[in-house]
Each structure stands twice: as C-alpha cells, then as structure tokens.
Amino acid sequence: MKLIKPVAPLLIFIPLIAYIPISIEIIKEFHIGGINIIFQFITSAIKPSLNILVVRSAWEGLQITIAAALTSWVISMFIGIFLGVLSTDLFWKSMPNFSFLGKFIKYSLAVPRSIHEVIWGILFIQIFGLNIWVAIISIVVPYSAITARVISEQLDSFDIQPLIALQQTGANSMSSFITILFPKLMPILSNYGSYRLECAIRGATLLGIFGLGGIGTELYLTLKSMEFREMWTCLWMLWFVIISLEKLIRFIRTNFYSNIDFKKSILTTISILFSSLLIGIIWLYGLSYDIFTPPTYTYLIWPSFLEIRQAFYDLPLLNLIITTISITFLASGIAIGTPPLLLIFFPNKISLRMQSIIWVFFRLIPPPLTTIIILLFTIPNISVAALSLGITHMGVMGRLLTDSIFNQKKDIYQAIKSNGSSRRSATLYGLLSPKSNSYLAYGSYRSDVILKETAIIGAVGGVGLGWQLQESLSSFDWAQVIVVTCIFSLLTISGEFLFYTSQNYWLRNSTNNFII
C-alpha cells in the first residue's frame, strides 16, 4: 500500500495526535487527591443548589452579564458595520483617489482584534478602575474590529459588475453604492450578527471571571470555594439563557427574515439593534449601575523607551512564544479531532442527539474554570492549558458538526449503506468525508480563536504569554506589559494570517457547507 497525499477525511483525525503528549504530561503529574473533588463536581450537576439566595444571586449575576453583553454587542455592531463598510474595496471604487484610507482602516483593525477581550479588560481595569463600562468597552474594541473584517470580506467577495452597471446609468457614486450594498449587508447582519451576540455573552462571562462582575464572577467564586452545587446553579441558568437565545435567534430568522422584502428586513434589523441597546442600558441602570457617569482615568506612569528595551531583553520571550504556540496546536488538536472520532465510534441517531447535548455543556464551562478543575489533580503546565481550551472549543466544533450532520443530505450515506457497509464505515465515508474540507476550514478558524484565548488560559494555567502578562500586570511593570502585549498581538496577527490562508485553502476544496 503506497502512502498518498493525505485526503481531507483522514486529516480530520490527525489532530488527535495531540492527546499523546497531553496524556503523558497529565499522567506524569497526576495526583489522586483531586479525583474525589472532581467526582463531587460531576455529581453536583444533577443536584444544583435551589437555595433561594443562591438562585437570586445567580440571577442577578446573569442579568449583569446579559445586559452588558447586549449593550456591547449593539455598540460593536454599529462600529463594526461602519468600519467594515469603510474598509471595503467596493466602497472606495467610487472614490479611487482615497482608496488608501480603506486599506489603512483595514490593516489598523488587525491590532484591536488581535487582543482578546479579557486582555483588554485587564488593561482597562488598570486605567479606568472597576466599572461596567470597562466590561462593555473591552468587548466593543475587539468585536467591532472582528465584525468590520467579516463585513468587509463578505462585501468584497461579491461581484462588482452590478455597481459598474448602475454607475453607467448615471447614478451618483454614493447612491449606487448604497443601492448595491444594503441588500447584501442584511443577510450578513442577520446571520453573523446573531452569532456575535452569543460570543458577547461568553465574553461578558469571561470578563466576570477576571473580576468584572456578572455570572462569571459568581462562577469563579463558587468554584474557588468549592461550592459545586452553587456553581451548577449558575451553569444551568447560563445554559438556559444560551439555549433560549439560540431558539430566539432561529425564531427571528424564520419569522422575520425569510420571505420578507428588503425594506422590512432593514426595519427589523434597525428595530432589533436599537431595542437591544435600549434594553441593555435600562437593564444596567435598573441594576444600580452608574452608567451615565463616564469612567475616571487613572494617570499611568508610562515607561521610557530604555525600560521597554530592558524588559524586552529580560523576558524569556522565545520560551513564552513557543509555549503559547504549543498550547494552540495541542488545544486545536483536541478541539478538531475529538468530535469526528466520537461520531465514528457512536454513529447512531440517538447517540448523535446525546453528543449534541454533551457538546453544549463542554462549551458552557469557560476555559479558565476548566483549568481550575483540571488543576485539582495535576500541576500547571502546557497540557492543562491546552486541555482546558481544547475542551471548550471541542464543544463548539462538536455541536456544529452534529448539527450539520443532522441537516446534511444523506445521498452518499444511503448509497454506501446500500452496498452492505457497516453504519460506522457509512458514517465515515458518507457523512464525514463530504464535510471534511469545510470542517477543516472551520477548524482553522477555531485555531485562530484558540490562539487568541491562550492569553486568558495562560493567566490561570501558569504558562505562556498570558501568564506573563498577568504577572507583569500584578507587579505594575508597564514596560513588560507593553512588550508582552505587543508580542502577543504580533503572534495573533501572524496566526490570523496563517489560519486564514489555511481556511481559504479548505474552503476552496469544499463541496459542503459546514456552517448551516
């Protein structure tokens, strides 16, 4: 048997190799003491605390998280749409002399989106102190930049011929641009916008873990005090919110976006955005947040160039970069490789439903909390960080995979089954193989997200650039903070480029859409 160029269906399993070094390292440092606590944590899932004080406290935390997420989501959508349109080539086609401005905006946005919202949060806390606006701005900064990028890419991927045709009729540049642009923008906003709202809730939860209030803070405190039943009360409530949100988004898409004219879809989008902003702000005000007072600026003593240079030489940067990259690859391996493996081992319909539910739980627990749980039976190392990140993103990949399998056409699967193949072989060839290219494309995108999240996981897990940043911030060493942030930003920008290239490669070969 001659080895050939690996085919995409095989490549989706190769990342599983990550389990080997992770298992070795975790087993090597394993201590039995924590197992009992892990067991308590798992069993608490079925008997969460129903104490009225606990429920009330969790509900209050949840409200803060949702309100902050709603507000930051709307603001980031508005800014993202504005910057996204400004950074399209399409927009500047009508004003070619100023097209450099579009390029400038496009490339400048790489920096804010390269830094995770939690890192922005930690930095802003130092400058503005503990304030709900810090949480909102921390989400708005990277999310606006990410939304802008997605919108500009999507708009630029459309055919510009209709724009040229319209301009040839004598229409002025701006009105022809708006006529072409708006109908294309609406479907992007309804699909991508709703996804960003879910991300904003996760982002707000994560910020809570790092001290900015809300359900994240509740989760962190209950875990730290080992009140697992209370923790599960928070987790179940968060799960309920996320599932309800999913259903609500699906309902809105089906009832308010399909089969309606363009005018109505614009009105619906604008109404949703403005009412969400209003709800978010009123909600926060109702929760006694002083949202109309601007945050106060704390003067920082910025380091001199010499201090920054010294920090650059003092820090073990190469080691930190290698650690961060290792965490990314190992976590991506787990996230990408595990869901297809489970699908192959348990290919029947009932187990697929079960897997779909399990994946929701995996992505529900924020990675820093998973790290703390894993640290109950091992010591901080790369594998712990990778496993925590891997588990969360495995949940995301797994849920999308099972959902897309449910909605996939089953022609090839039926064809393979009809020749007597086992269900497992038919699943591998008939369901997974046609999805493999698009699955790998989405895996590349996930790896990019994982790289950015190494910052938060490192801070808890004691490894990588994230940990160094946390250490430097704790000692108010601003020179080190600047160096680490810049290096991390450069690393994520390079990663974004690499993963984006790989994503496009897989998408070019894809015959099936993974995201439905």
CB of 6 to other proteins, least distance (A): 8
Residue number with CB closer to other proteins (78 or 429): 429
Q: Which amino acid is at 406?
A: F
Q: Does 53 bind other proteins (CB under 8 A)?
A: no
User: Cβ neighbours of residue 511 under 8 Å, at least 6 residues apart?
Assistant: 434, 437
Tell which one of 123, 272, 320, 426 touches other proteins (CB under 8 A). 426
Q: Which amino acid is at 21?
A: P
Q: Does 3 bind other proteins (CB under 8 A)?
A: yes
Residue number with CB closer to other proteins (37 or 344): 344
User: Cβ neighbours of residue 268 under 8 Å, at least 6 residues apart?
Assistant: 252, 256, 257, 260
Q: Does 7 bind other proteins (CB under 8 A)?
A: yes
Residue number with CB closer to other proteins (8 or 189): 8
Q: Does 504 bind other proteins (CB under 8 A)?
A: no
User: Cβ neighbours of residue 251 under 8 Å, at least 6 residues apart?
Assistant: none
CB of 415 to other proteins, least distance (A): 3
**Residues 115, 487: Cα–Cα separation, whole Å:** 11
**Residues 122, 471: Cα–Cα separation, whole Å:** 12
CB of 18 to other proteins, least distance (A): 19
Determine how many CB atoms are found less than 10 A away from the CB of residue 175. 12
User: Cβ neighbours of residue 77 under 8 Å, at least 6 residues apart?
Assistant: 147, 189, 193, 196, 273
Tell which one of 437, 447, 485, 489 touches other proteins (CB under 8 A). 437
- 17, 342 Cβ separation under 8 angstroms: no
Residue number with CB closer to other proteins (358 or 412): 412
- Which segments within 273-318 are labelled E, that is strand? none
Token digits of residue 335: 């996230």
Map residues 384-423 to x or -, x wherever contact with other proteins holds by CB under 8 A: ---------------------------xx-xxxxxxxxx-
Q: Does 428 bind other proteins (CB under 8 A)?
A: yes
Tell which one of 2, 96, 168, 169 touches other proteins (CB under 8 A). 2
**CA dist list (Å): 500 to 147, 209, 269:** 15, 30, 29
CB of 359 to other proteins, least distance (A): 23
Of residues 313-372, those binding other proteins (CB under 8 A) = none
Tell which one of 154, 173, 425, 502 touches other proteins (CB under 8 A). 425
CB of 411 to other proteins, least distance (A): 5
CB of 345 to other proteins, least distance (A): 10
CB of 417 to other proteins, least distance (A): 7
- 426, 408 Cβ separation under 8 angstroms: no
Q: Which amino acid is at 275?
A: S
State the residues that interact with other proteins by CB under 8 A. Answer: 1-4, 6-10, 411-412, 414-422, 424-426, 428-430, 433-434, 436-437, 509, 511
